[in-house]
């Protein structure tokens, strides 16, 4: 941090959608299995951090979301900061006022904790070490990923594009449980994927992801699931290199349905799909068969459906989106693969 008593830093961090799902964790947000995600572009969080020099080492934080004081998320950040303070000297020297803004609506099936903790990690790391990473963006993003992970696991996968791998896997030499790494090389057909997010239901989540992860601890099928995720990860990494959409579709849909199958067969079962979720899935699958187009669905831990397809066939996919919109009167948010985080100030 510079010697001046006051400064401002601003970062934009995108959200991401998992293709291979992270579901189940160990202590310190270490994932129970590797996961792979696609980085989005239209869905992002922008964070502006005002830093003012202080005289005592206690954390001083004021957090505003969309211009309003947000005590619930402020509490979550206050819980997160002690876990990362060793990497962020700025926390003991400066008081923080944070203004956060999301480009997408709440409960829209877009991981807001991923982009929010991602942006926070980027801003605080940049403020802690001004200039240090100027010529080494890769190391900066790796450290930001490590910090973001401790706020929300999936946040660590928002630091690179178009795809990130998080979790150690013996066949991918750079992989790590503590931070995500970019996947590569990615075949051109997977470099620009459109994501049409169908908002089937925008009410708040019935269960938090922490509660969901915890249910994998005593899950009867946990070992098999973790093994399957590892196998899918290896397959997907190969597919991303060869550009095989047919195989991509099979793994992506299997992962989405397995995630929900795990929830439904948990020690305390829970069901997050709605009738509309199934209806959209069936419409997607019928359309794919009829039109012979490379498109598929994926789901997060919620009822909303992400439809993925090469951005250059968007015109051919329009009739599908129109049909879905007409039958369910659903809102659709349009997104696509992005380029990763961006410093704004």
Find the binder of ligand PMV among 153, 162, 294, 341 (CB under 6 A).
153
Number of residues that bind ligand PMV (CB under 6 A): 14
Choice between 145 and 209, CB closer to ligand PMV: 209
Q: Does 113 bind ligand PMV (CB under 6 A)?
A: yes
Give the H/E segment covering residue 212.
Answer: helix 209-214
Q: Does 263 bind ligand PMV (CB under 6 A)?
A: no
Choice between 13 and 18, CB closer to ligand PMV: 18
Tokens of 228: 């399957």
| Ramachandran angles phi, psi of 220, nearest 5° | -60, -30
Q: Which stretch binds ligand PMV (CB under 6 A): 148-156, 192-200, 261-269, 331-339?
A: 148-156
Residue 303 C-beta: closest distance to ligand PMV, Å = 13
Cα angle for residues 177, 254, 326 (degrees, 5° grid): 120
Site string for ligand PMV, 70-109 (x = CB under 6 A): ----------------------------------------
Find the binder of ligand PMV among 13, 18, 161, 305 (CB under 6 A).
18
Find the binder of ligand PMV among 11, 13, 14, 22 (CB under 6 A).
22
List b or e across 78-106, with b for residues whose CB sees 16 or more CB atoms inside 10 angstroms.
eebbeebeebbebbeebbbebbbebbbee
Q: Does 209 bind ligand PMV (CB under 6 A)?
A: yes
Task: Enumerate the H helices of 268-313 as residue ranges.
Answer: 275-291
Bridge pairing between strands 94-102 and 61-65: parallel
Choice between 95 and 120, CB closer to ligand PMV: 120
Q: Residues with Cβ < 8 Å from 318, sequence gap 6 or more? A: none
Residue 114: CB atoms within 10 Å: 29
**Taking Cα atoms as reference points, which of 185, 142, 192, 164 lies closest to residue 22?**
164
d(CA 99, CA 117): 13
Q: Which of residues 273-302 bind ligand PMV (CB under 6 A)?
A: 300-301
Cα angle for residues 250, 256, 257 (degrees, 5° grid): 90
Residue 258 C-beta: closest distance to ligand PMV, Å = 11
Write out the residues near ligand PMV by the rule CB under 6 A. 18, 21-23, 35, 111, 113, 152-154, 209, 259, 300-301
């Amino acid at each position: 941090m510079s010697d001046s008593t006051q400064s401002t830093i601003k970062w934009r961090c995108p959200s991401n959608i998992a293709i291979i799902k992270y579901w189940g964790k160990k202590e310190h947000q270490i994932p129970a299995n590797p996961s792979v995600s696609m980085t989005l572009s239209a869905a992002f969080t922008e964070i502006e951090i005002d830093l003012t020099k202080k005289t005592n080492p206690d954390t001083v934080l004021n957090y505003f979301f969309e211009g309003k004081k947000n005590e619930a998320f402020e509490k979550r950040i206050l819980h997160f900061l002690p876990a990362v303070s060793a990497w962020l000297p700025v926390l003991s020297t400066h008081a923080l006022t944070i203004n956060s803004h999301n480009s997408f609506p709440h409960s829209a099936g877009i991981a807001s904790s991923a982009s929010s903790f991602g942006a926070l990690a980027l801003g605080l790391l940049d403020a802690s070490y001004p200039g240090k990473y100027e010529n080494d963006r890769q190391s900066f993003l790796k450290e930001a990923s490590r910090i973001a992970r401790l706020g929300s696991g999936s946040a660590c996968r928002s630091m690179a594009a178009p795809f990130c791998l998080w979790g150690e896997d013996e066949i991918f030499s750079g992989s790590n449980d503590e931070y995500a790494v970019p996947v590569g090389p990615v075949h051109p057909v997977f470099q620009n994927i459109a994501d049409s997010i169908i908002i089937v239901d925008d009410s708040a989540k019935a269960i938090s992801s922490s509660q969901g992860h915890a249910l994998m601890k005593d899950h009867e099928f946990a070992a098999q699931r973790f093994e399957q995720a590892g196998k899918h990860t290896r397959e997907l990494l190969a597919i991303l290199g060869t550009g095989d959409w047919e195989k991509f579709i099979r793994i992506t849909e299997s992962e989405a349905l397995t995630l929900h199958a795990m929830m439904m067969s948990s020690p305390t079962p829970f069901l997050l799909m709605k009738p509309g979720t199934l209806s959209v899935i069936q419409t997607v699958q019928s359309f794919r068969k009829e039109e012979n187009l490379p498109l598929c669905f994926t789901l997060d831990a919620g009822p909303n459906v992400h439809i993925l397809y090469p951005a250059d066939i968007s015109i051919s996919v329009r009739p599908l989106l129109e049909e879905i919109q007409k039958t369910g009167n659903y809102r659709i948010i349009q997104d696509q693969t992005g380029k990763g985080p961006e410093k704004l100030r």
